[in-house]
Amino acid sequence: MVTTDFFTPVVDNPYDYGSIAAANSMSDVYAMGGQPFLALNVAALPDNLPNEISSEIIRGGAEKAREAGVVIAGGHTVKDKEPKFGLVVIGFVDPRKMLSKGGLQVGDALVLTKPLGFGVTTTALKREQVDASDLQEAVDWMKRLNKEASQLAMGFDLRGGTDITGYSLLGHGLEMAKASGVLLKFEFEKIPFISCARKYAEMGCFAGGAFDNKSHFESQVKFADSIDEENRMLLFDPQTSGGLLLGVPQEKLAAFIARAAEVNQPVWTMGRVETGSGVHVT
């Protein structure tokens, strides 16, 4: 399989930016249960960008690729007014065993492998309203590869999965619900968020993409009356390098959670798959 992704900086530190962009680019392969093995840099850099900054962006991507066991075989750079960076990624996946959006079954537990809240935090950074410790929490999660989560899913022969990125938890959840012909029911109190997410939600630090997601997907989502507007918006918050949303059969769930703890892979069980359509948040 071949995939590509690149974007403008979400953080100020060039090394972290390169690392996050690389992790995000490889995520589509992991989201299908595959193993990336080769990548090409894709970069658009301003003429006046200091060499020490551009080299740190490239180094961040290269070291994240090395962590994943991926070879950077070259790439292409063009000039642009605003920096953009990412990877073209080539990986292997067995089509008989791969994860897909249409692989959910009624009764599956819904499990997430990274918390939410990256979008509001990076938007707070852009508005110069972020606390350094909050930003570091988000950066550490965004830099984390989905490699271990993908291998865990493959070890339990899971079939339903996707990664949570720009369309938010609800947008990507709706894609899975439609592809699998099922209803996804999330329990809000069990959905994980980074520690600062609610704070920045109350400050209104939502990117334009969050409102786009709400406009596009809200008609297909049923919320409990107890969930206020800030928390609803957090579920429409676009994520950069988010985790995997997986469907785990109930008979495998206990062993799955135990194995996740053994390999230091965070997992949160936050709902289940039921008959019906769309997404409910209770």
Which strands sit side by side in the sheet containing 221-223, from one edge to the other? 160-163, 244-248, 109-112, 268-274, 183-186, 278-281, 221-223
The residue ranges of every structural domain in the chain are 2-92, 109-281
Cα distances (angstroms) measured from residue 56 to each of 12, 13, 18, 39, 267: 12, 9, 7, 18, 32
Mean pLDDT of 97-121: 98
Q: Which residue in 93, 20, 252, 27 sits closest to 158, CA to CA?
A: 252
Compute the distance between CA of residue 132 and CA of residue 202 in angstroms, rounded to an integer.
18
- The mean of the pLDDT values for the chain is 97
Q: 212 forms bridges with which residues in the sheet?
A: none
Domains 2-92 and 109-281 share a fold: no
How confident is residue 253, by pLDDT bands cut at 50, 70 and 90? very high
User: CB–CB of 26/145 below 8 Å?
Assistant: yes
Both tokens of residue 197? 């997410």
pLDDT score, position 55: 96
Percent of all residues in the chain with a pLDDT value above 90, rounded to a whole number: 100
Fold classification of 109-281 (topology level): Phosphoribosyl-aminoimidazole Synthetase; Chain A, domain 2 (3.90.650)
How confident is residue 25, by pLDDT bands cut at 50, 70 and 90? very high
Compute the distance between CA of residue 98 and CA of residue 145 in angstroms, rounded to an integer.
18
pLDDT score, position 123: 98
Q: 2-92 — its CATH code?
A: 3.30.1330.10
pLDDT score, position 250: 98
Q: What is the pLDDT of residues 266-281, one digit of tens each?
A: 999 999 999 999 999 9
pLDDT score, position 92: 97
How confident is residue 163, by pLDDT bands cut at 50, 70 and 90? very high
Compute the distance between CA of residue 75 and CA of residue 88 in angstroms, rounded to an integer.
8
Both tokens of residue 20? 């996050």
pLDDT score, position 229: 98
User: CB–CB of 247/105 below 8 Å?
Assistant: yes
User: CB–CB of 85/57 below 8 Å?
Assistant: yes
pTM for the complete prediction? 0.96
Please report the beta strands in the chain, taking only residues with DSSP state E, as ranges in sequence order: 2-7, 35-45, 71-79, 84-92, 109-112, 160-163, 183-186, 221-223, 244-248, 268-274, 278-281
